[in-house]
Structures are given as C-alpha cells and as structure tokens.
Amino acid sequence: MAQNPRTNENNSPPTDGRNSLLTRRSYVRSIAAAAAVTTGAAAAGSAAAADDYETITVSAGEDRTIRVESGETFENKLIDCTASNARVTVAAHGTDWTIRNVAVTGELDVGKPGAVFGVSDTGNGSSTLENVYLADGSTNAGHATAETGIWVSPEHNGHIDFKRINIQKFPDNGIYASAPGGNGGGTVHIDHCFAANCRVAHYRIGSTGSKVTNSSVLLDEEGYDGRGVWVWAPGPCEVDNCQLEMNGQHYAIRAGANGGGAKTIVSETDYDTGFESGINESDGSTVELASDVDTDPEAVIPDGVPTSPEAAARGE
C-alpha cells in the first residue's frame, strides 16, 4: 500500500490521491502486514476479562492493528503496550462507529512514526471517540520516530466527537485533525479534553465548523513545545471555554499555515501570553477575541476526563 510522504509542522497534510484511510504517515506498513495482526472490534486479540473491562496485551516487538468497522462499538479495553517496541493502532475509517472507555498503557518507544488512533467518518455520518486515556505518550526522539496520539485522515467527510480524552507527551501532535480541511471537509468537536506536553500542536483543527470547547492545554515540560490550538485553513473554527496554559513556551493559539489563512473565534477562554503575546496570525488569518477572554489560564483536567488507565477502561 502506498504510504503518505513524511510531513512536519511546516508542511501541509498529504493531499494526493493515494489511499491514506489506513495511514498516518506510515502507521500501517502494508495491507498484508496489517492483516497478520488485525483484530476486529468484537474480539480484539487475546485478552483476559477483569473488572468490567478487557486487557489486550501487545507482545514485545508487535505492531498490532485493531479495526473498528462502520456501525461497530469498541469499548472497555485496556491495551497494554508496556513491552519493548510494542505498539497498537486502532483504525476506524467507516461511518457511525463508536470507540469509548479505552486506555493505552506504556510509553511507546518503537522508533518509527505512527498514530495510536487513526480515524475518520467517510460516510457523511457521525462517529464518537470518548473516555480515552493516552497519557503515557511516546518517546521524543525526533521526527523519524515521532508518534501522533490521534490522527484524522484527509478523507473524513462526516463528523467526529472527541470527548473526555487525556492525551499527553506525543511528539507529533496530540489530536491532529487539520487534514480534512480542504479535502474531505469533515468536522470535529474536541470537548472536555485535556492535553499536555505535546510537540507541534496539542489540538490541531481546520475544517469549517470544527471547534475546541471546555478543554485544557498544559505545557510545563521542556522538549515537547507545541502550540495550544493550531487552526489551519479554511476555517472558521471556534475555541470556547478553554484554558491554555503554555508557560511561555509556545503560542496558545496560532491561526494559518502553508499559505492558507483561517479565522478563529475565541470566547470564554484564558490563554498564556508569555510567548510572543500568545497569539500568532499568519497567511492572512485572524484570531477574533470575542466575549470574556482573559490571560490568566489554569489548565485543570476537565470533569469526567480519565486520570488512570483503569478508570478509562471501566468507563468511570
């Protein structure tokens, strides 16, 4: 299967005609390789039921793919990637699918780029990813090994709700959802989520009508200096009731990239001004500060966001 070209924070997402539904950069190596380790949503790998959730153990050196098909629900799973060079991709590229109450444990250290969740709604429907723990993150060893937490493919043309997600320490974006802008055009709504210490961007959106609400960003460690919210073209997009605490290490909000401008409307939000006043407008973009915007953020974890793998897997 053809793979997408490598991109970085200064390049636009892949927009060519190659099959990218099951790829984030190169997170699925080939159809044959994926088939060898694929597990359906109904029976995802060898697992032991306990405490109202199922533990899926990924072996050392294994690169497992779990596929969630249209209309399916994948829920109450703890995916153990603590073994050396173990990783997982949960791929959902149909329509009206649901992923909820899922945790991935173990700092990913595979040494090649990938994404833990690769998703899109390609049937003009509505899908959901909620109550997810991704706080163990990935090693930050440079572009050649950079992992993405959640990747939304360019072909996305429906809507995805991201709710109550704890995502931390991903060196190639936390939630990377800007690719559908100018491609499939599908929208995303990031709501009641917590992102911390991700490189490039914590929340990255761009399609018309996409938004980040009731969510926090915390940047308080060196080496993962990513933007709080990065809005790509075409927009407009909304940022509402968010706390963007960057500690002077990067922009809280950036609008525009790669020659494309976007409008961002910000309301009921506190943002950090310590890095070049906290806001960047490029390529003809505008950031409109609407009602009740202040500059004293406190990035608390929103209510309902899981703070442990077990809490996520149980749906607590």
What is the per-residue pLDDT across 199-256, written as a single tens digit (0 to 9) for each? 999 999 999 999 999 999 999 998 889 999 999 999 999 999 999 999 999 999 999 9
Residue 246 lies in a domain: no
pLDDT digits (tens, 9 = 90+) for 156-166: 999 999 999 99
In sequence order, the 6+-apart residues with CB closer than 8 A to the CB of 206 are 177, 178, 179, 180, 181, 182, 231, 232, 233, 234, 235, 237, 262
Confidence of residue 110 (pLDDT cuts 50, 70, 90): confident
Residue 82 lies in a domain: yes
Residue 93 lies in a domain: yes
d(CA 253, CA 272): 9
Task: Give the domain range for residue 186.
Answer: 31-226
Q: Is the pLDDT of residue 3 over 90?
A: no
Residue 254 lies in a domain: no
Lowest mean pLDDT of 24-28, 44-48, 242-246, 291-295, name the range. 24-28
Task: Give the rounded percent of residues in the chain with a pLDDT score beyond 90.
Answer: 78
**How many distinct structural domains can be found in the chain?**
1
* 231 φ/ψ angles, rounded to the nearest 5 degrees: -105, 120
Q: What secondary structure letter does DSSP report for 154?
A: T
Confidence of residue 38 (pLDDT cuts 50, 70, 90): very low
Q: Distance between the two ends of the chain, CA-based, in angstroms?
A: 39
pLDDT given for residue 51 in this prediction: 61
pLDDT digits (tens, 9 = 90+) for 214-227: 999 999 998 889 99
CB 172 within 8 A of CB 146: yes
pLDDT given for residue 46 in this prediction: 36
Mean pLDDT of 54-74: 97
Residue 62 lies in a domain: yes
Q: Is the pLDDT of residue 7 over 50?
A: no
Lowest mean pLDDT of 25-34, 130-139, 142-151, name the range. 25-34
pLDDT given for residue 223 in this prediction: 83
Residue 120 lies in a domain: yes
pLDDT given for residue 22 in this prediction: 36
Residue 60 lies in a domain: yes
pLDDT given for residue 19 in this prediction: 27
In sequence order, the 6+-apart residues with CB closer than 8 A to the CB of 21 are 93, 120, 122, 153, 155
Residue 84 lies in a domain: yes
Mean pLDDT of 33-51: 39
User: 3-state class of 118 per DSSP?
Assistant: strand
Tokens 């407008």 belong to residue: 281
